[in-house]
Amino acid sequence: MSFISYLINGLSLGSVYAIIALGYTMVYGIAKMLNFAHGDVIMIGAYAALISMTQAGLSPVIAILIAVVVCTVLGMAIERIAYRPLSKASSTLVVLITAIGVSYLLQNVALLIFGANAQTFPTVIQWKGVSLAGGRLNISGETIVTIAVCLIIMAALITFVQKTKSGQAMRAVSEDRGAAQLMGINVNGTIALTFAIGSALAAIAGVLLCSTYPSLTPYTGAMPGIKAFVAAVFGGIGSIPGAFIGGILLGIIEIISKAYISSQMADAIVFAVLIIVLLVKPTGLLGKKIQEKV
Amino acid sequence: MLKKMKKNTKNNLITYAMVTAAFIIMQLLISVGAVSSLLEGLMVPLCTYIVLAVSLNLVVGILGELSLGHAGFMCVGAFSSAFFSKCMRDVITAAPLRFFLAMLVGIAVAAVFGVLIGIPVLRLKGDYLAIVTLAFGEIIKNLVNVLYIGKDSEGFHFSTKDVMALDMAPDGTVIVNGPQGITGTPKDATFFIGFLLILLTLFIVINLTNSRDGRAIMAIRDNRIAAESVGINVTKYKLMAFTVSAALAGAAGVLYAHNLSTLTANTNNFGYNMSITILVFVVLGGIGSIRGSVIAAVVLTLLPEVLRGLSDYRMLIYAVVLIVMMIFNWAPGAIAWREKYFHFGKNKRGAGK
């Protein structure tokens, strides 16, 4: 029974990773850049929700909406100010370093405004959860909501990308930016939209993460950000279902190895699994195999 | 060809001279007492960062692969050498000899790790290679944190649980104490040794770059398929660059470890943050430019210290400076603007290609 409860916890953590990884993978697929500041957008989203709830006394639903709006605006602003001027730079490393600069910036702004002390995140989800198998298996409300939200986001995102015109534009830009532009697609607009969606997802992920692990500091986003990045690569970066599968697997592996092997070595095990997967399948689980042309 | 070589040689001599001059000036300032103790204490770490930046440039700039796990090699070098020094503290009393041997140990272990990690990693490309190096760096940091080694009359004891699990005789001492790391490493590193290490690193990297091997490595960077088709052994040269870089990072780790009384592995000194910091030096200094790495390492290490008066705002300013410098240096719009109003950008080719 404890195995099942670990599995469900892993599924919940994995759902958070998956939501963050979706942001990474979409931005990578379309802008071809690793947005290292993504983890810190999560942290800003969590702070926005926290402030709305504790200082302004708003209800959790409105607080989450505010967090989503804040992160969306922030993500688009970052893209416009820091990344777009460099989109045609000669080396992709340049944008990577700029993203790291943005990450430092967000962390230090948060540090100045909110201080370094950990703040307790109030529960967003009032539901107590369910108790199965005669009380031997308790699943908290946070866990169920997290998993459900992840599934809804996943479904909505796939529908959006496959069915709508903007989604089509996104796929076109990720396939071939130049050709997409020639077809009359607004490439810059599409990239901005991608950042907006990714950042909105980051806000939701931030709130979900902090409801399960209710301690918020300016560095809260960094490690989940890296883990989600790993998850995105794990599933094949650029692929939306890949990010989902990668995130879920990563969460389960992490919780199971914490429970059964060693809590201190959980991170090492997660990374080791990643390495093994990449060595067997060098472009991730669902990554496209790139044909090399001479 | 001859003219080009001469220009190269001249260029390299400038780099050596610059480092030497900076060392002499600093040393004079320290002996006069014009340098705060804080800044003086920063000199050995600064040397560490320069060595790390130059060695990472070998992978990022010369080999053209992105590595996010450079701090892992530094960690391996630091811990293996600190372990050696602590064990040998009473056996070898001459500090320079002990430090020299520790340096060899650190370099050798880091190089072995470089080969071990390089063989699987170099099969991958681009961002996948980057993420795997990141993963290796984190694994190394994580493993060091759960490692317990003790020594008693019967020999060494290992454990990954805690000190009690070492099961030592009463005369045993704990050498590596998990998250508490290694305490009591002899402080053998000095600014002068750091300076010598920088010169050695520069010498190795510059000579490698300008050798036949270096040209093969750069050919792989520019076009792997073309390089392969003219008979360059891609795996061999990739592994060579990777291993040399790892060994030098190990040497930097040795220097770092012997400047601290307590050596612990956390995110900021051996984790992902450190790898990123070094990468920032390399990219900001100009990818592939050795001298640029040195200058960027010096400027970016000293910048937060110079800004210390601004206390809380210093890291904020550091971040803003980093973003602005990247955009100013690399954005096509900014380059065009610069060339229009100032003419100094003209002779620069795209160094990061």
A91-127 tens-digit pLDDT: 777 888 889 899 989 999 999 999 888 888 887 777 7
Residue A274's domain is classified under what CATH number?
A: 1.10.3470
Buried b vs exposed e over B74-112: b needs ≥16 C-beta within 10 Å? bbbbbbbbbbbbbebeeebeeeeebbeebbebbbebbbb
CA–CA gap between residue A226 and residue A249 (Å, rounded): 15
Q: How would residue A48 be classed by pLDDT, with cut points 50, 70 and 90?
A: very high
CA–CA gap between residue A18 and residue A231 (Å, rounded): 7
Q: How would residue A11 be classed by pLDDT, with cut points 50, 70 and 90?
A: very high
Q: How many domains does chain A fold into?
A: 1
pLDDT digits (tens, 9 = 90+) for B281-336: 998 888 888 999 999 999 888 887 777 777 677 778 888 888 888 888 888 888 88
Q: How would residue B155 be classed by pLDDT, with cut points 50, 70 and 90?
A: confident
Does B129 have pLDDT greater than 60?
A: yes
Mean pLDDT over residues B171-176, rounded?
Answer: 76
CA–CA gap between residue B204 and residue B211 (Å, rounded): 10
Does A29 have pLDDT greater than 80?
A: yes
Does A168 have pLDDT greater than 70?
A: yes
CA–CA gap between residue A60 and residue A145 (Å, rounded): 14
Name beta bridge partners: B148. B159, B177
Of the residues A108, A280, A281, the best mutation for testing chain B's interface (the one with the most B CB atoms within 10 Å of its CB) is A108
Mean pLDDT over residues B154-181, rounded?
Answer: 75
Does some domain include residue A185?
yes
CA–CA gap between residue B156 and residue B168 (Å, rounded): 9
Does some domain include residue A294?
no
Does some domain include residue A290?
no
Does B353 have pLDDT greater than 60?
A: no
- The tokens for B60 are 């990022």
CA distance B64 to chain A (A): 10
A90 inside 8 A of chain B by CB: yes
A267 inside 8 A of chain B by CB: yes
Does some domain include residue A34?
yes
Does some domain include residue B347?
no
Please, which contacts does B37-45 make with residues 24 or more away whose CB atoms are closer than 8 Å?
A: B38/B305, B38/B308, B39/B302, B39/B305, B42/B301, B42/B302, B42/B305, B43/B191, B43/B194, B44/B189, B44/B190, B44/B191, B44/B194, B44/B255, B44/B256, B44/B259, B45/B256, B45/B259, B45/B301
pLDDT at B307: 76
Of the residues A24, A27, A96, the best mutation for testing chain B's interface (the one with the most B CB atoms within 10 Å of its CB) is A96
pLDDT at A226: 85
Does some domain include residue B300?
yes
**How many C-alpha atoms does A64 have within 13 Å on its Cβ side?**
17
Does B45 have pLDDT greater than 70?
A: yes
Does some domain include residue A289?
no
CA–CA gap between residue A69 and residue A257 (Å, rounded): 36
pLDDT at B351: 44
Chain B, residues 131-160, CB within 8 A of chain A, namely: 131-132, 134-136, 138-139, 142-143, 145-146, 160
CA–CA gap between residue A19 and residue A41 (Å, rounded): 13
User: B131 vs A105: CB contact, 8 Å cut-off?
Assistant: no
Mean pLDDT over residues A9-21, rounded?
Answer: 93
pTM of the model: 0.85
As a whole-number percent, the residues of chain A with pLDDT over 70 amount to 97
CA–CA gap between residue A197 and residue A211 (Å, rounded): 21
pLDDT digits (tens, 9 = 90+) for A202-237: 999 999 999 888 889 998 888 888 889 889 888 888
User: A93 vs B60: CB contact, 8 Å cut-off?
Assistant: yes
Of the ranges A50-59, A169-178, B135-144, B311-320, which one carries the lowest mean pLDDT score? B311-320
pLDDT at A43: 94
- The tokens for A234 are 């794990």
Of the ranges A274-278, B31-35, B170-174, which one carries the lowest mean pLDDT score? B170-174
pLDDT at A289: 67
Residue B11's domain is classified under what CATH number?
A: 1.10.3470
A292 inside 8 A of chain B by CB: yes
* Domain enclosing residue B136, as ranges: 2-341
Does some domain include residue A13?
yes
Does some domain include residue B350?
no
Of the ranges A139-148, A177-186, B152-161, B179-188, which one carries the lowest mean pLDDT score? B152-161
pLDDT digits (tens, 9 = 90+) for B207-239: 999 899 999 999 998 988 899 999 999 999 999
Q: Dmax over Cα atoms in chain B, in whole Å?
A: 75
Closest CA to B133 of B152, B151, B120, B147: B120
Cβ contacts from A onto B, under 8 A: 137
Q: What are phi and psi of A189, to 5 degrees?
A: -65, -40
Mean pLDDT over each residue of chain B, to the nearest integer:
85
User: A94 vs B330: CB contact, 8 Å cut-off?
Assistant: yes
Does some domain include residue B214?
yes
A118 inside 8 A of chain B by CB: no
pLDDT at B49: 94
Does some domain include residue A287?
no
Does some domain include residue A212?
yes
* Domain enclosing residue A276, as ranges: 2-280
Q: How many domains does chain B fold into?
A: 1
Q: How would residue A294 be classed by pLDDT, with cut points 50, 70 and 90?
A: low
In this structure, are residues A137 and A4 in contact, taking their beta carbons and an 8 Å threshold?
Answer: yes
- The tokens for A97 are 């370093």
In this structure, are residues A284 and A236 in contact, taking their beta carbons and an 8 Å threshold?
Answer: yes
In this structure, are residues B79 and B176 in contact, taking their beta carbons and an 8 Å threshold?
Answer: yes
CA-nearest residue of chain A to B312? A112
Burial zone of B71 (CB within 10 Å; 0-12 exposed, 13-18 middle, 19+ buried): buried
Does some domain include residue B352?
no
ipTM at complex level: 0.84
pLDDT at A248: 94
CA–CA gap between residue B325 and residue A86 (Å, rounded): 12
Closest CA to A30 of A175, A158, A179, A217: A175
pLDDT at A18: 94
Does some domain include residue B72?
yes
Of the residues B142, B159, B162, B320, the best mutation for testing chain A's interface (the one with the most A CB atoms within 10 Å of its CB) is B142
Does some domain include residue B349?
no
User: A98 vs B326: CB contact, 8 Å cut-off?
Assistant: yes
pLDDT at A170: 92
Does some domain include residue B189?
yes
Does A292 have pLDDT greater than 70?
A: no
In this structure, are residues A289 and B150 in contact, taking their beta carbons and an 8 Å threshold?
Answer: no
Mean pLDDT over residues B327-347, rounded?
Answer: 74
CA distance B14 to chain A (A): 27
As a whole-number percent, the residues of chain B with pLDDT over 90 amount to 31
User: Which single residue is written with the structure tokens 């472009």?
Assistant: A283
